[in-house]
Amino acid sequence: MRVSLRPELVSDLKVCNVRWSVQGSEFDKYPAKQHARRVATKLGVSSGLIYLAGTPTVNWGDSDQPQTFRQRRYFYYLSGVDEPDCFLTYDIQNDLLILYVPDFDLHRAIWMGPTLTVDEAQRRFDVDRVRYYASLDSDIAAWARQYNESAPVYVLHTSQQPEVPATKLRVDAERLLPAMDAARVIKDGHEIQLIRQANIISGLAHRNVLEQIHKMTNEAQIEGLFLDTCVSHGAKNQAYEIIAGSGPNAATLHYIKNNEPLKGRQLVCLDAGAEWECYASDVTRTFPLGADWPSTYARDIYQIVEEMQEECIRRIKQGVRFRDLQILAHEIAIRGLQRLGVLNSGTVEEIRQSGASAVFFPHGLGHHVGLEVHDVSEKPITAQGQRGRRDLVPPTRLSFPVLEEGMVVTVEPGIYFSQLALANAQKQPLARYINFLEAVKYIPIGGVRIEDDILVTRTGYENLTTAPKGEQMLKIIRRGIDHSLS
């Protein structure tokens, strides 16, 4: 694959001080064969057949319109194919990866354009062979006659196993999913470049919003400009639904209505990230609508969240427990809210253990990013116990106990002032730690969240996110205002 960047993108990359190169063999083909071998290693077997089905073409219910296509991410991981109606098999003992593409359909080709041919797919994808779908059943039957007594067909789910006429297959639907999760959690260089590119485009979109925010009158315009920037730079899909919450809406973690007026609002929390070749970015910025912070309340909360993020990112490296960073973020939040009088007397540890800080920081510090915006991982959730005795919004937790080189994780602390959360907290023992009269003064702010995508390295980290934040963010807003006046 070769990427042709638009001139304005190159210019913006220089502004962002981002070095970006896509030339060379690393980006030529998605490393599907390498991924297949990695999954086999995680399975811990030397024989068997991995079988995966891609996303089929399906119409919406009671409609002749097709559902929006989104490739199954496990299938993409072993193929690099973002086309519907495909299948693959990987014969572990013979190290043979075969892609099956749809049979030629003249009617479909006339209306929708031709599907993949065998020759085209062989050139584009890192597989050993490409065959048409018509060969799939007979190929599996032939493999089964030779090997199925001693080795199973590995599938993700029983609903996705092959149905081969006159052939009774021995199927294992238990081991493949955890093996693929274990393989996917560590990103190779190709995957990191895709996440990096998704972040670059997201950064440009965030920058454009900052430059134009002073002209906007509704949350919908924020969403529209973000989408326009991404699509015009080749990122047609978003990694998740855009969150553009202004004022009190920013206290709703997954607010997606994005349809309210901006007039009278202090801040906007924009959580939005583009997808690039099926790989996600996940970026959040919180910013004022004008040239400076609209109140000391807004400025003070932003500075606390900024410290939470900076201190946690600074400590990231291989071997660090993410749960320890989660605790650190809560401790910084507690001390900051104590300074503001929102939290009352009590030690930092007492307040954290009570769950009072989680009234304001109700989610986890981060999660894996990759083919899914909340990407898969191998080991059980380790953030249990973070909720204290509260019963509020369940945290988004990073389900891996120790950070490893090659992981990409978000660091996304936030402080929110939700009327619902505060009302619920008043009924609980933790209420004695909260100054509710002071806390309600911050409700117009809604919430502040700052989120970056961080690559874990052996000795530290690399921040893959290029979207401006902090003082740089404010300068861009001011520059946009100045340009309008000139």
**Per-residue model confidence (pLDDT) at position 144:** 97
C-alpha to C-alpha distance for 327 and 241, rounded to whole angstroms: 29
Do 119 and 211 lie in one domain? The reply is no
C-alpha to C-alpha distance for 269 and 251, rounded to whole angstroms: 9
State pLDDT tens for residues 186-209: 999 999 999 999 999 999 999 999
Do 177 and 242 lie in one domain? The reply is no
Residue 384: give the domain boundaries.
186-485
Q: What are the backbone angles phi and psi of residue 278, rounded to the nearest 5°?
A: 75, 0
Do 207 and 133 lie in one domain? The reply is no
- Is the confidence at residue 486, as pLDDT, over 90? no
**Per-residue model confidence (pLDDT) at position 10:** 45
The last residue of one of the domains, among 163, 184, 205, is 184
Residue at 217 is within a domain: yes
Residue at 374 is within a domain: yes
Do 287 and 159 lie in one domain? The reply is no
Do 316 and 439 lie in one domain? The reply is yes
C-alpha to C-alpha distance for 366 and 312, rounded to whole angstroms: 11
Residue at 421 is within a domain: yes
The last residue of one of the domains, among 123, 151, 184, is 184
* CATH code assigned at 154: 3.40.350.10
**Tokens read off for 174:** 């238990």
The last residue of one of the domains, among 155, 184, 213, is 184
C-alpha to C-alpha distance for 400 and 208, rounded to whole angstroms: 35
Do 192 and 85 lie in one domain? The reply is no
Do 324 and 445 lie in one domain? The reply is yes
Do 423 and 363 lie in one domain? The reply is yes
If one counts the domains in the chain, the total is 2
Q: What are the backbone angles phi and psi of residue 286, rounded to the nearest 5°?
A: -120, 130
Query: pLDDT band at residue 115, thresholds of 50, 70 and 90?
Result: confident
**Per-residue model confidence (pLDDT) at position 202:** 99
Mean of pLDDT over the chain: 91
State pLDDT tens for residues 12-43: 444 443 334 333 333 589 999 999 999 999 99
C-alpha to C-alpha distance for 228 and 287, rounded to whole angstroms: 20
Give every CB contact of residue 159 below 8 A, 6+ residues apart in sequence.
Answer: none
Residue at 8 is within a domain: no
Give every CB contact of residue 197 below 8 A, 6+ residues apart in sequence.
Answer: 3, 20, 22, 276, 277, 279
Do 167 and 241 lie in one domain? The reply is no
* CATH code assigned at 219: 3.90.230.10
Give every CB contact of residue 38 below 8 A, 6+ residues apart in sequence.
Answer: 183
- Is the confidence at residue 440, as pLDDT, over 60? yes
Do 147 and 273 lie in one domain? The reply is no
